[in-house]
């Protein structure tokens, strides 16, 4: 009773400063310089992320009713201001916000498209650590991306497939929704008994009472919002610890179990192989969520535990787990650099085949290079996809991998594998840019690779020489 009363009181208080905030907004330039930007400055997704603060931790408490598809949420964000802030934004799409507090004091808020605009009672100092609590509810819906695909909270017949690349995190929690910002996470997920709710990291507890089960997950290593999941379904669960001490949790929809089993069995050996190539596995947890979500059409490298819309083949398992190093541990600072994720994960597939009795990477490269100049593969250069509509398109994946193969040919195997490992190690739990990768490759090999990268990453059309 006490908690409800507090929430109501905050909701009432919140309505007063809204008018004040509107007046401040109308004051125009006077307020500039102390309001957090509505976006993180990404040219492809200008409203993704926000300016003026970093989030160090998300504590998400969610209840989901799989029958009504209703979500009840409470998000507690621990953040640090990077400028004086009279106002800041979070990203949240859809859902109804019932209250916002900043450091336990009710804050004014309003919705503007995907921006949740928060005006704290007291101005935040540059460097100040503050805590934002958002209570919200409603029926989450996925976002439609520029390429027409859906991501975010995607309801299924027995729960929800939850994958947020590039924009979908904001469909189920208020986020600083850009990979520039990485944070640790706690999830407390309550679902009807009989359903399993799987998030990132390690399972802290699982308790059933009054017909509902609560799963508590902890993701300790920093994670970009788009890699968070809270996938729910009727799952068969398998748990074990690898020889390296990594806690594995696999959740598999019964309808996919038979096809998934032989592939999931290989997870420890795939992680082992990738660790030998890329350096130690970056997280303390691993695993797979194999859902039955026929309308989704993709898998996602959700951190520590990729989510698959169906039973994956071995190559897909290799791809999503390679992303744990390339994309998850080493994050993008701009979506334009997406080849650092997809080109690398695709090249990991080629290497896996080459070292496990399949085609050599050279053979895979040759088959692609044989495609005519009119082929879609050459539609745009992978280092400059041009817009968010192209980030998951063939040139990013295949020509991105071809770029790495060209680097390998130029520097030789020893230096090439040194480069891959050095990249994952130097930027572990952080970020990397294309410029930094080029510099690293040149540094390790002692070669000038500018022309190679210029041709393969940034020049339109089919490169005339391979």
Interface positions with Zn ion (CB under 5 A):
342, 345
Which 8-state DSSP code applies to residue 336?
G
Question: What's the min distance (Å) between Cβ of 319 and ligand ARG?
Answer: 6
**Measured between alpha carbons, how far is 268 from 300 in angstroms, rounded to an integer?**
19
Binding status of residue 145 toward ligand ARG by CB under 6 A: yes
The footprint of ligand ARG on residues 150-169 (CB under 6 A) is: 151, 165
Closer to ligand ARG by Cβ: residue 146 or 358:
146
Question: What's the min distance (Å) between Cβ of 164 and ligand ARG?
Answer: 8
Task: Locate 208 and state its tokens.
Answer: 């059933």
Question: What's the min distance (Å) between Cβ of 342 and Zn ion?
Answer: 5
**Measured between alpha carbons, how far is 335 from 342 in angstroms, rounded to an integer?**
11
Binding status of residue 97 toward ligand ARG by CB under 6 A: no
Question: What's the min distance (Å) between Cβ of 405 and Zn ion?
Answer: 17
Closer to ligand ARG by Cβ: residue 66 or 324:
324
Binding status of residue 342 toward ligand ARG by CB under 6 A: yes
Residue of the chain from 298, 379, 387, 422 that contacts ligand ARG (CB under 6 A)? 298
Angle between helices 361-369 and 400-411 (to 10 degrees): 120
Question: What's the min distance (Å) between Cβ of 329 and ligand ARG?
Answer: 15
Q: In terms of DSSP H, where are the helices of 167-313?
A: 254-264, 267-278
Task: Give the CA diameter of the chain.
Answer: 72
**Measured between alpha carbons, how far is 2 from 146 in angstroms, rounded to an integer?**
45
Please tell me the count of residues contacting ligand ARG according to CB under 6 A.
12
Question: What's the min distance (Å) between Cβ of 238 and Zn ion?
Answer: 24
Distances (CA, A) of 318 to 208, 289, 312, 348: 35, 14, 10, 7
Residue of the chain from 34, 149, 425, 436 that contacts ligand ARG (CB under 6 A)? 149
Closer to Zn ion by Cβ: residue 181 or 342:
342
Residue of the chain from 14, 102, 289, 299 that contacts ligand ARG (CB under 6 A)? 299
Question: What's the min distance (Å) between Cβ of 227 and Zn ion?
Answer: 12
Closer to ligand ARG by Cβ: residue 89 or 165:
165
With CB cut-offs between 5 and 8 Å by kind, which of Zn ion, ligand ARG, none does residue 328 bind? none
Query: What is the residue whose two structure tokens read 């979908």?
Result: 168
φ, ψ of residue 177 to 5 degrees: the values are -85, 60
User: What is the per-residue burial (b if ≥16 Cβ within 10 Å, else e) of 156-182?
Assistant: bebbbbbbbbbbbbbbbbbbbbbbbbb
Strand order in the sheet with 96-102: 105-106, 96-102, 129-138, 70-81, 53-65, 182-192, 212-224, 202-209
Residues in contact with ligand ARG, shown as a per-residue x/- string from 357 to 396 under the rule CB under 6 A: -----------------------------------x----
With CB cut-offs between 5 and 8 Å by kind, which of ligand ARG, Zn ion, none does residue 10 bind? none
Closer to Zn ion by Cβ: residue 191 or 345:
345
Distances (CA, A) of 421 to 35, 164, 191, 233: 41, 27, 40, 36
**Chain residue whose CB lies nearest ligand ARG:** 149
Sign of CA pseudo-dihedral 356, 360, 365, 370: negative
Query: Which residues does 72 contact at the CB level (< 8 Å), separation at least 6?
Result: 62, 63, 64, 137
**Measured between alpha carbons, how far is 404 from 68 in angstroms, rounded to an integer?**
47
Element (H, E) at 63: strand 53-65
With CB cut-offs between 5 and 8 Å by kind, which of Zn ion, ligand ARG, none does residue 393 bind? none
Choose one: 102-110, 187-195, 295-303, 415-423; the region binding ligand ARG (CB under 6 A): 295-303
Task: Locate 274 and state its tokens.
Answer: 């990738």
Binding status of residue 44 toward ligand ARG by CB under 6 A: no
Q: What's the residue count for the chain?
A: 466
Choose one: 12-20, 251-259, 299-307, 355-363; the region binding ligand ARG (CB under 6 A): 299-307
Classify 21 in phi/psi space as left (phi over 0), alpha (psi -120 to 50) or beta: alpha
Question: What's the min distance (Å) between Cβ of 320 and ligand ARG?
Answer: 6
Binding status of residue 291 toward ligand ARG by CB under 6 A: no
**Measured between alpha carbons, how far is 414 from 416 in angstroms, rounded to an integer?**
5
Question: What's the min distance (Å) between Cβ of 293 and ligand ARG?
Answer: 13
Residues in contact with ligand ARG, shown as a per-residue x/- string from 424 to 453 under the rule CB under 6 A: ------------------------------
With CB cut-offs between 5 and 8 Å by kind, which of ligand ARG, Zn ion, none does residue 300 bind? ligand ARG
Binding site for ligand ARG (CB under 6 A): 145, 149, 151, 165, 298-301, 319-320, 342, 392
């Amino acid at each position: 009773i006490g908690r409800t009363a507090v929430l109501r009181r905050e909701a009432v208080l919140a309505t007063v400063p809204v008018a004040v905030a509107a007046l401040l907004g109308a004051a125009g330039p006077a307020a500039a310089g102390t309001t957090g930007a509505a976006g993180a400055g990404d040219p492809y997704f200008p409203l993704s992320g926000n300016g003026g603060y970093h989030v160090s931790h998300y504590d998400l408490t969610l209840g989901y009713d799989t029958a009504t598809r209703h979500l009840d949420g409470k998000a507690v964000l621990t953040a640090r201001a990077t400028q004086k802030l009279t106002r800041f934004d979070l990203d949240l799409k859809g859902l109804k916000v019932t209250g916002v507090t900043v450091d336990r004091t009710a804050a004014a808020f309003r919705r503007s498209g995907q921006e949740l605009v928060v005006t704290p009672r007291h101005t935040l100092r540059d460097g100040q650590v503050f805590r934002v609590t958002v209570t919200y509810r409603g029926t989450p819906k996925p976002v439609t991306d520029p390429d027409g695909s859906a991501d975010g909270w995607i309801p299924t017949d027995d729960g929800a497939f939850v994958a947020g690349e590039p924009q979908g995190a904001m469909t189920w929690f208020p986020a600083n929704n850009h990979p520039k910002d990485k944070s640790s996470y706690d999830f407390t997920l309550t679902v009807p008994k009989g359903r399993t709710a799987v998030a990132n990291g390690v399972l802290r507890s699982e308790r059933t009472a009054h017909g509902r089960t609560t799963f508590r997950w902890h993701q300790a290593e920093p994670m970009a919002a788009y890699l968070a999941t809270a996938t729910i379904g009727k799952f068969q669960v398998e748990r074990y610890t690898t020889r390296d001490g990594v806690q594995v949790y696999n959740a598999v929809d019964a309808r996919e179990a038979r096809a998934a089993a032989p592939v999931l069995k290989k997870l420890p050996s795939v992680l082992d192989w990738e660790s030998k190539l890329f350096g130690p596995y970056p997280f303390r947890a691993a695993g797979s969520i194999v859902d039955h979500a026929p309308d989704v059409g993709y898998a996602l490298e959700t951190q520590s535990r990729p989510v698959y819309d169906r039973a994956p083949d071995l190559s897909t398992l290799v791809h999503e787990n390679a992303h744990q190093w390339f994309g998850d541990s080493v994050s993008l600072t701009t979506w334009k650099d997406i080849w650092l994720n997809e080109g690398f994960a695709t090249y990991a597939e080629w290497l896996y085949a080459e070292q496990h009795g399949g085609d050599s990477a050279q053979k895979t490269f040759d088959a692609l290079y044989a495609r005519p100049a009119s082929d879609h593969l050459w539609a745009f250069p992978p280092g400059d996809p041009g817009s968010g509509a192209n980030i998951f398109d063939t040139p990013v994946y295949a020509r991105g991998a071809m770029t790495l193969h060209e680097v390998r040919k130029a520097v030789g195997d020893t230096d090439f594998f040194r480069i891959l490992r050095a990249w994952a190690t130097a930027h572990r739990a952080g970020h990397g840019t294309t410029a930094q990768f080029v510099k690293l490759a040149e540094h390790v090999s002692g070669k000038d690779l500018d022309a190679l990268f210029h041709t393969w990453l940034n020049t339109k059309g089919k490169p005339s020489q391979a």
